[in-house]
Amino acid sequence: MKQYNHFFEVSLMQYLSSILVILLHCDKVFSSPVWHFVFKSGFCRIAVPFFFLCSAYFFHINEQKRENYAKKWIKKQLKTYLFWSVFYLPLGLLALSEFSIDRAFYPLAVLFALGYSGTYYHLWFFPALFLAIYLAKLCSQTIGYAKSFLLALFLYTIGAIETYSSFLENTRLFEWFQSYLRIFFTSRNGLFFGFLFVLIGFYLADHWEEIHIQHLKSKLFFAISLSILEKIIIFQNQGLDKNIQFALVPLTPLLFLFLLKSSCNIRIPLRNLKAYSQYYFFLHPMVLFLLIKTSPTISGGEKFIFTLFLTHLISYICINWRIFFFSLNNFSLSKRKL
């Protein structure tokens, strides 16, 4: 399978997306409602679909090349997810105590969180990714990509009710959706949100050579224009949330393809870039929690700057600590061989 060897550009975008996730979680960074919306409901909303698509693309590529890769990948991701779930469990239980739930039901709530929403607010991505990959594999293999895309778009449209709820108030459809929200809280999950982008990632991996990428910059510019137009509509008619936006469907894969074809002169060790991206994602909620507890009056902008700085610092220590002990272990093994 012929591919462009520009994965650095994709990894750089993943790193920037991790920063956008931090920005998204830092409350109101800008005092202006317009700029607040532009950044938090504009730029930041590309991050999660991009993560879904990238994860699916590289999973499917490696699954085709390496024997038993899928089982090894799932095992590794489950270990990672369970570790951080336990790590954030105290904060999750603290957040749970704010709801009127009897403590006898806490074990059930934790099980529900592990299987759906995560034990803390950012960990929902893992159950969503697992479900989306399962659905994408099942549907693409049984009913083909054409019908799978129709199904995924239909589910994505249902999920978009959360974004476009202001247009559907006082309708039976919105009443049904509110009944759903009382149980599952959000449509930002693997079924209504992640499934479509994971399916796109699978499709790109399977049909790379057949995909026509002429005038890619023009197509990307058009997708960005559609996204701006949609955001103007959403800004004037704000719903319950803004996770699921229709313009992200063409924008995310076009951006991904553009990055694969692009060439960046800046070079950073790829492994470090990926590691920083992962640590940013996992560590920033703890840093943000401690920052809010110690400095409750801190502004949104200061919150973002300090959270990013401290998260980077801790990530740097963790990455270099791992490199040090890995090198030390290799040194001791080489001595034994001698």
* Domain definitions of the chain by residue range: 32-263
Q: Find where tokens 């659905």 sit.
A: 135
Distance (Å) of CA 212 to CA 143, 254, 257:
24, 11, 10
Q: What is the pLDDT of residue 19?
A: 95
Structure token pair of residue 271: 């492994």
Q: First CA to last CA across the chain, in angstroms?
A: 42
Q: What is the pLDDT of residue 66?
A: 87
Q: What is the pLDDT of residue 163?
A: 95
240 and 165 Cβ atoms separated by less than 8 Å:
yes
Calculate the dihedral angle through the C-alpha atoms of 181, 234, 305, 282, rounding to the nearest 10 degrees: 40
Distance (Å) of CA 133 to CA 11, 152, 226, 331:
20, 12, 28, 39
Q: Find where tokens 């510019």 sit.
A: 221
Residuewise pLDDT in 10s, the chain (338 residues)? 344 445 788 888 999 999 999 999 987 888 888 988 998 888 899 999 999 999 999 999 999 888 889 999 999 999 999 999 999 999 999 998 888 788 888 899 999 999 999 999 999 999 999 999 999 999 999 999 999 999 999 999 999 999 999 999 889 999 999 999 999 999 999 999 999 999 999 999 988 766 766 788 899 999 999 999 999 999 999 989 999 999 999 999 999 999 887 766 665 666 678 889 999 999 999 999 999 999 888 888 899 999 999 999 999 998 888 654 444 344 344 444 44
Q: How far apart (Å, rounded) are the C-alpha atoms in residues 147 and 203?
A: 13
Q: What is the pLDDT of residue 325?
A: 46
Q: How far apart (Å, rounded) are the C-alpha atoms in residues 284 and 122?
A: 10
pTM score, two decimals?
Answer: 0.90
254 and 215 Cβ atoms separated by less than 8 Å:
no
Q: How far apart (Å, rounded) are the C-alpha atoms in residues 132 and 57?
A: 12
Structure token pair of residue 54: 């990238």
266-313 pLDDT per residue, tens = 656 666 788 899 999 999 999 999 999 998 888 888 999 999 999 999
Q: What is the pLDDT of residue 268?
A: 61
Q: What is the pLDDT of residue 335?
A: 40
Q: Who contacts 117 (Cβ-Cβ below 8 Å, separation ≥6)?
A: 123, 124, 127, 185
